[in-house]
Amino acid sequence: MGLKVNYTFERDQQNCLARWPHVLQIQTAPIDERTTIGVVDLRICLQAIAQCSPEIVNQPDKDYAVYALDYSEDDVPLVGQGMLSWGLDQAVASPEQKLVTGRVTKNMLAIFGNGIKETLEVKLKLNSVPRMQRPQTSYNSEIQRGYGTDGTYALVRSGSIISGPGS
């Protein structure tokens, strides 16, 4: 399946489009009789944007907060995904994928011979913000924060433990 990333900037609201040049294996699920959604790794979407709009990457004093439309929710909310630079940072890449949803659409370019009949269309919004330091995280950040595998949690603050539901 092909991938199109539609993205806008908060100030000018101009629609921009980045096409990922590679065919992807996309997991899909029908939402209703007319709509099918799929999921893709956010990092692929951000790489497509960086390749198509290189001027927004590696700015010393500016970064972009990334929001993705979540087509799996009834009201299709914008969901915060972190900073553009963090998602593109290969040095701190997380081994787990951060999935975003998109709509499966017919690929009109297929009639010109590229053969890809369907495309996943992901919509992102980029808000310009001052560049900030990425918080230190690790692979097991959920466990380090105290989230247990049984749904309980414990927050450590100033040497005291605050327990949550199920504990």
Does the pLDDT at position 116 exceed 70?
A: yes
Quick one: average pLDDT of 72-98?
87
**Mean pLDDT confidence for 84-105:** 86
How far apart are the C-alpha atoms of 104 and 37, rounded to whole Å? Answer: 5
Q: 97 falls in which pLDDT band (50, 70, 90)? A: confident
63's tokens: 């970064």
Under the banding of pLDDT at 50, 70 and 90, the label for residue 105 is: very high
Say if CB 68 and CB 101 are below 8 A apart: yes
Backbone phi and psi for residue 71, each to the nearest 5 degrees, phi listed first: -75, -10
**For residue 102, what are the β-bridge partners?**
38
Residue 43 tokens read as: 């990092």
Q: How far apart are CA 18 and CA 79, in angstroms?
A: 20
Higher pLDDT: 141 or 28? It is 28
What's the whole-number mean pLDDT along residues 65-86? 96
Q: Which of 3-7, 93-97, 143-147 has the lowest mean pLDDT?
A: 143-147
Average pLDDT over residues 107-118: 74
6-52, pLDDT tens digit by residue?
A: 999 987 778 999 999 999 999 999 999 999 999 999 999 999 999 99
Helices and strands in the chain: count of H runs, count of E runs: 3, 10
Q: Look up the pTM and report it.
A: 0.77
Structure tokens at 102: 């998109």
Over the stretch 145-156, which tens digit does the pLDDT of each residue have? 444 445 444 443
Q: Which residues pair with 124 in a beta bridge?
A: 7, 68
Token couple for 51:
């390749």
pLDDT, residue 114, reads 65
- Taking all residues of the chain, what is their mean pLDDT, rounded to a whole number? 82
* Separation of alpha carbons 83 and 62, rounded Å: 11
